[in-house]
Structure 1
Amino acid sequence: MKILVVGSGGREHALVWKLRQSSQVTHIWCAPGNAGTAIDAENVAIAADDVSRLARFARENSVDLTVVGPEAPLVAGIVDEFRRQGLAIFGPTAAAARLEGSKVFTKKLLRRASIPTADFAVFSRADEALQYIDGGDEQPLVVKADGLASGKGVFVCANRAEARAAVRSVLQERAFGEAGSQIVIEECLVGEEASVLAIVDGDTIVPLDVAQDHKRAHDGDRGPNTGGMGAYCPAPVVTSAIMDDIVRRILIPTVHTLKVDGTPFSGVLYAGLMLTSSGPKVLEYNVRFGDPEAQPVLMRLQTDLAQLLLLAATGRLSELEGLDWDPRPAVCVVMASEGYPGDYAKGHVISGLESAAQLVDVKVFHAGTALKGSDVVNSGGRVLGVTAIGSDIADAKRRAYEAADRISWQGGWCRRDISDKAAGINVSGRGR
């Protein structure tokens, strides 16, 4: 089997690494890839959103399966185009990808299907949104830009003043361009966050082991929201009873509603959840593997990923006999560029990668990296996802940070408390 992975981040490196382990896979390309995928696959200089060139490459190279990593090509319709040309591809159509591409679409679907989520209101005019905020009680609110905003379009606001500032930033100052033509204002849910990813083929739903992400930039869940500063899997906060509730009350009705609407969902359905005192509620949906959740999840997965994704892409997921997992937990620590999630400098040489790679049960997944001659340099905000498996959560954390401490570049940094929640350490944070 020949596979093309689309994307250039840590998620894509994890996909390439896991797919390469399949006995059925003979060759893997990654477009455009990064310095890490260049080691585990063959990089192709085609941008992830250049759908026509990607389709032509897949056709000319007899690619058996294309796996799409990032959300933007999915929302833009890469799956629709590949299917039109008779090419096998894993991911949702553009219509189904609206679950991530439009928060307004998702919130309205959740309300219509009676799926638990935060109370909300939708606005396209700043004056109406500000009037809504001023007319309500003084309480935390969440303001979200409707469209894709690279993980930066969500504002967790402690009070009216912060909420008003968020509205002005999105609707008046157009901080996110067309992605901010509409906003959702919703109640701020309080509890523990969890990420539930499931493989779906339109009918069958196969949940993966639960992960927990760390969105805030700094220790103790403080600082600005990011694309994710680390994750661990499994997340003990989600018990088997809670997971059954999530499947029954959230995943099944979502997939069923989309099918009834004529937009069946195939691909990864990623539910970002808040475990509230009244049960799990949906914060958001993504339509692809999470980043950094994919790293610890795929580190533990022992089932042949290529076979799993091919079954889903061809509507045969019901043939799967179940998933096999390494019973040991995994922890991923994201190393980031100085200044992230704001502006940051690129091109600094990264040292210590070979030393970290020598450690047992450790894999350094590349995200924002590039090759400059023979050197690996930082090229993005989130640069590396240092991932380790251990006998327990504490051991996996120790191994991950031992590897991270061997790696350095000018301004490189990371949170130091990834997975402490799972170890029972009290971490004070804010809701969403």
Structure 2
Amino acid sequence: MPDHFLFTPGHEAYRARVREFARTELAPRSSEWDRAAVLPREALRLLGDHGLLGIVAPRSRGGEERDYVSLGIAIEEIAAADVSCAQIAWIQNTIGHFFPGWGEDTLRAVQRGEAAIALATSEEDAGSDVSAMKTTATLDGDEYVIDGSKIHVSLTPGASVLAVSCRMPAPDGRRAIGMLRVPADAPGVTIAPMEQMGARAHSLGAVRLDRVRVPCTATLGAQNEGKALMYARYNVSRCLSPLAALGAAGDVLRRTMDFARGKVVFGRPIAMNQSVSFPLVEHQAKVEAGRLLCYRALWMNDQGLDASTEAAMAKWFGIGAGIDAVKDCLPLWGANGYLKEFPIEQKLRDVLSLNFTGGTLNIMRVLLVRQLLGADFAGLRA
């Protein structure tokens, strides 16, 4: 087994293919989807038509059966064109992959862009601290009865089926965390949009579950396996969110460097001023460093290695580096950077949304303290 990561010629060819699609099909529609602020069915169809919603799914189920590094490449290139579409793509790829039990018909529809699935886990007092979860599923004959509320649910309104985390009866009499497949239109399900500043086209909502009944066969994964499934997904998804930030930042840096070479002030291009050129090259270096952290962690997942520490590092560093790059590029455009006519202000709003996906950056720091210094120093209760 190799002990290091390298892109293969196949990876580079795949990057070129996705980049061409994203620049020609997604980027021209990005501002339109941002203004509409609803889950864009057209984007789902485009992503499905190009195989970008089943990247790691097996070929026997209509997927492309690629590795996690390829998934990262796709997310980075899609985010350079539209961050919302990148979020849609990584959510559909990872929920379908890590949570067994959706059913083949549902997954094939998702991969074609004809349906969407969503992950409903966060609550008002239970985000990264899943032990504080209050949503319950009570056994009643051959059905579960679900009661509770979820917030910050991506792809809602819009998703047709939800993966709902809840406390369920366990064999030892306690309540463990499980995942249930819940149709979005099931009786007792109420969905309300949550208006957000950026990544508006990926749609964000609150879900209320009032005595919602689903059959016992609606369990995703083994009974009471929900927490383990969520954590396995984190090891990959925490590499994808920073790649989205870095993909968007890379696009903004490229545009800003072109602008700085051509914008003449006091008789010379502004790129000749070190107050302009130094930040640009420094941010480019940080973007490259963040990319390598992310791809190394994805490669470790491909090798079957525990990448929990590396994924937390990648997320903390990569998202911070991406946000800082876009934020510092915006004023170099002068007042134009603030105008909706130019893509910079939307990119800044969009990358800021990545602060909160799969745990905040402060939570990544806490996880790293626990993993590198020891649990006694992380400030978490036993």
| TM-score, length of structure 2 as denominator length | 0.29
Q: Hey, which of these two has a bigger chunk of strand by percent?
A: 1
More helix by share: 2
